Structure formats: structure tokens, C-alpha cells
Amino acid sequence: MSFKTLRYILIQALILVSVAGTFGQTKDSLPSDSSKLKTKLSFVARMQQFAEKSAKSSIDDFEGDKAAIAQNRILEEIKKKIQKAKSFLKNGVDTLGTKAKLISLNEDFTIAKDGVLTNKGSSQTFRNLTTTSKILTELLNKANASKAKLDLYQSEVNRFRYDLDSLLSQRDLFKFSSDSATLSKFMGQLVVAAYEVNPVDSSLKKENNSIQGMLNQVNLQVFKIETGLEEIERYKQDIARNTFYRDFDNIWGKVAFYRPFSEILNQAQAKGLLTLVFYLQNNIGKLAILLLIISAAFIYLRSLKSIYEANKLTTDNYEGQRVLRYPFWSALLISVSLFQFMFFSPPFILSVIFWLISSLSLTMIFRGFITKYWMNVWLLMAVFFIISALDNLILQASRTERWLMLALSLTGSIVGLMVLLKGRKEELREKLILIAIGLMVFLELASSITNIFGRYNLSKALLISGFLDVVVAILFLWTIRLINEGLFLAFNVYTKQDPKLFYLNFEKVGKKVPVAFYLLLIFGWIILFGRNFAGFEYASAPFRDFFARERTIGDYSFTINSLLLFILIMGISVATSKIVSFFASDKHQVQDDKSKNALQSVGSWLLLIRIGILSLGLFLAVAAAGIPVDRITIVLGALG
């Protein structure tokens, strides 16, 4: 009850009491008892009516005040919600960018389905199906990411509309005051609110319709991609089950489907670049790690070489020290040959790039070391491999390609036989290479026969596998040889080390690579060899599932791949930290007093750098493994 109402009630009560007293004090009249009773009853009734009226008025005033407070609150909330909605719409989803992504997605889908879903030809090829599957899988991930983003944005738009409608439909907003002045003022506030709400609500509605239109396009694209992947999976299963069955007619038979060879090459180029770009975008971190490993290996080998040169321990023509003659090429060969297995299911074009880099590195190392005859054999095998790799990048079959494949496989078989029968085996330093060449001859002859009789997919797999067998075998043999040389040379120099620096007990490591390392490289060779065949993907599926399957402990989810990546990054950071300390405090170099004083002066800075490297490596490893950074920060804070 307000003070104004209370004062009005008190004044009215005083007036009534005064009037009653006046009637009771009149001297000229002598009322009867019944008259007095009626007057008394009439007074009580009037007071009760007055009390009821006052109570109702007080309740009405209270409800009006409460409604006014609620109305002011609602109008204030509406203003705040309008401001938030305007800011949201201003900083919302990039409609033009999303439409551009959808157009690019559709263009990439058109490129990917060519030769598989459209322009199929008379039969499917395993390489075309594999490449198209990789592209469509990446496109599906991008489409799902865009869909999730649009779904989230649309839900926010609808939430703003719902909140505004909820505020505008509250009952308190429509409780009008009986006072005309108050009512007029409130109606003015409603008019202003309506003017502010209407354009924002229209914008939200328009934005919702626009987002829904884009969502319809994305959903349609997702459906097309998923349907395409399902169809490709059926084709791949058919090829895997029918490996030894005919794909086409004999090489001299009638051509069932013709497509210009130039179009086939353009299609292969477009798809190859797509797979390469998509894969590099998803694995840029691994590429950065590979560059760091190459840099660390190069710095280490160069330091080892400088130690040998400073102590005049190098031999003529670096006999037994080939790893030191060209530190950069040795580091490149060792790092790329080993680290390529960290790229899971890479596109064939990326594997070719790795093998070409390794082959170039080994060619530089071979210069002036092996005889001219075996150098020519190596170069010839490398050329055969490059040609077969380029052919393997062609995705759709054609009669022209089949004749080229036949010529290449027959030429490789003849050259391999000549090397086995008339080669200068006494000059060969690695006798195991002869086994690889013999396997190559067998595979290339098998490729020729299967190609002639229409087993195109099997023939192409055998063609690339034969030359890949020789090149990868030579690369791995020399990788092991260079590692052996590096361990032996380090064993001779680093027998006395400071455990605080880059400590490695070479007496325990030994002078040779452990047998387990040989077995791992043989296993890697089998993987590289088997990737070319259709059945390998299904045979290796359980192993991939084991490493990629998500496991949960409490609230934390992880995969074996993420744990291995965590261990790898931490190992690299620890090794980098120790290498930095080792090179800054190298006690094996010939130093004068001035250089020794300079090294002592950077000790404290060196410690900070090592701590920084370890900390950065830890957080990178944690992020790569998917461990919540906030939790690990709490743990580190507690340990600190």
C-alpha cells in the first residue's frame, strides 16, 4: 500500500468520525433508541464498504506498481536482447565465404567423380577408386564441418527469436494501468520497443531463411558424397575379390570405351593435386616435425664431421665414412626413409615425392663411390621407377597406357635379366640387391602377361611393385649402412661424454644397428610393397582400427596414434634440447681460451633455452595427443 493511498484512507476516516460526533451532540433533538441503533448500523456498514473499497484500491495499486516494475524489467531485457542480436548478426557466419566453399566443394566433387561415377568406362580401376575415395572422404569431412557450423549458427538465430518472442508474450507486459497518464507513457514505451524489435526480428527471420537454404545445399552435397563413397566401396570390394579375373579384353582386342588420352592425363593431374593438397593440409604438423628431424640430423652429422676433420681422422675418399662426406644428403636420406612411415595412408603422389627425394640423396652419395657400371644400373632402375610411378598416377585405363605398360615391363625384365646374368657382381657392395633385382624381373614378367590378357589392375600393381621393390630395397639397405657408419664413428669419438649434455652410451648401443631395426625396415618394405594391391587395404584394416580406435579412461579419450605422436614429439624435444646443449658445450672441438670463456658465459642462457624447448615440446605433445590443456596446466602448476 502506497503512502498516498494510506493518507487518503486516514483523511476519509477522520471526516466520518467528525460527522458522527456532530450528530451525537445535537441538543434540540431527542432521538429514540431505535433511531440511534439505525444510525450506528448505518455507520458500521459505511465503514465496512469503505474498508473493502480501500483494500481493493490498495491491491490494485500494488498490482499496478508490480506490473510497472515487471514491465520496465521486460523492456530493459528486450533492449539488451536486441543489442546482442544486432551484434550477433553483424559478426555472424560469413555467408559469402560459406557459399564460396559450397561452390568449391561442388567443383571438387565434380572432379572426383569423373571416371568413377561419371564417364565410368567399361571397368573400374583400383587406383582411380582409391584416389577418388580419399578425395570424397576429405570433401565429406569439409561438408560435415560446414554443416555443423551452419547448424550451430541457425540454432543461435532461432534462440534469439525465441527469447524475443518469449519476452514480448509475457502477461505482465499487457497489464495496463487505470491511470491515463501512466498508460499513455507506457504505450509510448511499447511503440518504441516495437520499432526496435521489428527490424531485428525481420533480420533474424531473413538470416534463418538464408541459413536454411545453405543447409539444404550442404545436406544435399553430403548425401551425394556419402552415396558416392558407398558405391566406390562396393567397387573396391569387387576388385579385391576378383583380383585374378579379367578387367578388359586382351590387349589386341576391341576397345569397349574410348576416351582421349589427354583427358585422362588431365583428370589424373587434377585428382592427384587434390589428394596431395588435402593430405598436406591435414598433416602440416608432421611435415614440420620432419623438417626439424632433418635439420637436427644434418647439424649432428656436420658437427661429427667437423670433429673428425679437426682431429684429422677422416680417410681418403671417406672410405667407411660416407655418412660424413655429404652430411645434408645423408641426413635427408635417413630422415625421409624412416619418417615416411609416420604418414598414415598417404596419397601415392606424396610417397613418390618422398622416394624421389631419397633417390636423389642416394645418387649424390653414390658419386665417386660406386663403380660406373653399378651407378648406371642404379640410375636406370631409378628412371624405370620414375616412369612406372608416373604411370601409376594415371587413374583411368586406356589402350594407349596398356601398350606403354607392356613396353616398360618387358624392358625392365630384359634389363634385370642382363644385370643378373652378365652384371659385375664382384664390384657390388650390397649383394642383397641381386635378390631385389631377381624379384623385379619376376614381377615385371608377371605384369606383362597379366596385361596382355586383360588383368589390368593386377598388371598395374605388379608393374609399380617390381621397380618399387628394387628402389626401396636399395634405399633401405643404404639407410641401414649409413646409420651403422654413424654409430661406429660416434662410438670412436664420443666414448667420454658429459652425462649432463647429449649423453648416449655408445658402448651399449654398439657399432651396428640392432637386428630389430632390420626387421622393422623389412616390415616397412612389405607395407610399401603391399599398398599397391587391392586386397592389402582390407587385410590391414584390423591393424589400422587398432591404432585409430578411440579408447576412454574416465573423461579422457585417446587413440594409440595420439599416444605414439605424444611420445615422438616429447622425444624430439628432449633430443633437441640435449643437442643444443651439446653443440654449445662441445668439448671435442679444438678450442682456444677465448672460445672457452665465451662458452662459459652463455651457460645460464643455455639453460633457459633448454627449458623453453622442453616446455614447448610438452605443450605441443599434449595438444597433439588431445589431452585437455587446462587440466595438464593444473597438474604442472601443482608439480611446480
Q: Are residues 317 and 455 in the same domain?
A: yes
Kindly state the percentage of the chain with pLDDT values over 70.
75
pLDDT in tens, 342-392: 888 889 999 999 999 999 999 999 888 888 888 999 999 999 999 999 999
**Residue 37 covered by a domain:** no
pLDDT in tens, 337-351: 988 888 888 899 999
pLDDT in tens, 450-464: 999 999 999 999 999
| Exposed/middle/buried for residue 207 (C-beta within 10 Å: 0-12, 13-18, 19+) | buried
Q: Is residue 399 within a helix (H) or strand (E), and if so which, with residue range? A: helix 399-422
pLDDT in tens, 127-139: 999 999 999 999 9
555 within 8 A of 596, measured Cβ to Cβ: no
**Residue 517 covered by a domain:** yes
Weakest mean pLDDT among 40-44, 396-400, 633-637 = 633-637
How many Å apart are CA 331 and CA 297, to the nearest integer? 5
Instruction: Check whether 411 has a pLDDT greater than 90.
Output: yes
Q: Are residues 519 and 544 in the same domain?
A: no
Q: CA–CA distance from 529 to each of 133, 296, 522 (Å)? A: 20, 29, 10
Q: Are residues 508 and 568 in the same domain?
A: no
Structural Rg of the chain based on CA atoms? 42
Q: Are residues 177 and 275 in the same domain?
A: no
How many Å apart are CA 141 and CA 218, to the nearest integer? 12
Instruction: Check whether 426 has a pLDDT greater than 50.
Output: yes
569 within 8 A of 289, measured Cβ to Cβ: yes
Query: What's the one-letter identity of residue 114?
Result: D
pTM score of the predicted model: 0.75
Weakest mean pLDDT among 100-104, 247-251, 287-291, 543-547 = 543-547
Q: Are residues 531 and 567 in the same domain?
A: no
First to last CA, the chain: 63
Query: What's the one-letter identity of residue 309?
Result: E
Instruction: Check whether 16 has a pLDDT greater than 60.
Output: no
556 within 8 A of 562, measured Cβ to Cβ: no
Q: Are residues 195 and 232 in the same domain?
A: yes
Question: Percent helix, strand and coil across the chain, each rounded to 5?
Answer: 80, 0, 20
pLDDT in tens, 575-619: 777 666 655 555 444 455 555 555 455 556 667 777 777 777 777
Q: At what angle do helices 33-90 and 126-168 cross, to 10 degrees?
A: 150
Number of domains into which the chain is organized: 3
**How far is it between the farthest Cα atoms of the chain?**
161
pLDDT at 467: 93
Q: Are residues 140 and 278 in the same domain?
A: no
258: left (phi over 0), alpha (psi -120 to 50) or beta: beta
pLDDT at 503: 41
Domain boundary (473, 507, 538) is at: 538
Instruction: Check whether 25 has a pLDDT greater than 70.
Output: no
pLDDT in tens, 486-499: 878 877 776 544 44
**Residue 425 covered by a domain:** yes
- Using alpha carbons, select from 255, 225, 262, 220 the residue that is nearest to residue 116: 225
Q: Are residues 310 and 230 in the same domain?
A: no
Instruction: Check whether 50 has a pLDDT greater than 50.
Output: yes
Q: Are residues 614 and 468 in the same domain?
A: no
Residue 108's domain comprises: 71-241
State the average pLDDT over residues 422-435. Answer: 79
Q: Three-class SS of residue 628?
A: coil
Q: Are residues 495 and 550 in the same domain?
A: no
pLDDT at 570: 79
- Position with higher pLDDT, 87 vs 30: 87
Q: Are residues 350 and 463 in the same domain?
A: yes
Q: Which residues contact 380 (CB under 8 A, 6 or more apart)?
A: 415
Kindly state the percentage of the chain with pLDDT values over 90.
29
Domain boundary (209, 241, 273) is at: 241
DSSP labels for 154-209? HHHHHHHHHHHHHHHT-GGGG---SSHHHHHHHHHHHHHHHHHHHHHHHHHHHHHH
**Residue 248 covered by a domain:** no
Query: What's the one-letter identity of residue 481?
Result: R
**Residue 347 covered by a domain:** yes
pLDDT in tens, 169-187: 777 666 666 666 666 776 6
Let me know the angle formed at the C-alpha of 355 by 354 and 361, rounded to the nearest 5 degrees.
95
**Residue 390 covered by a domain:** yes
How many Å apart are CA 56 and CA 591, to the nearest integer? 104
pLDDT at 383: 95
563 pLDDT band, cuts 50/70/90, is confident
Q: CA–CA distance from 251 to each of 406, 451, 452, 454 (Å)? A: 9, 7, 5, 6
270 within 8 A of 479, measured Cβ to Cβ: no
**Residue 445 covered by a domain:** yes
Domain boundary (488, 517, 538) is at: 538
400 pLDDT band, cuts 50/70/90, is very high
pLDDT in tens, 462-485: 999 999 989 998 998 888 888 888
pLDDT at 453: 92
Other CB atoms within 10 Å distance of the CB of residue 418: 12
Q: Are residues 288 and 401 in the same domain?
A: yes
**Residue 471 covered by a domain:** yes
What are the cell numbers at 261? 588420352
- Position with higher pLDDT, 592 vs 158: 158
286 pLDDT band, cuts 50/70/90, is confident
How many Å apart are CA 70 and CA 62, to the nearest integer? 12
Mean pLDDT of the chain: 79
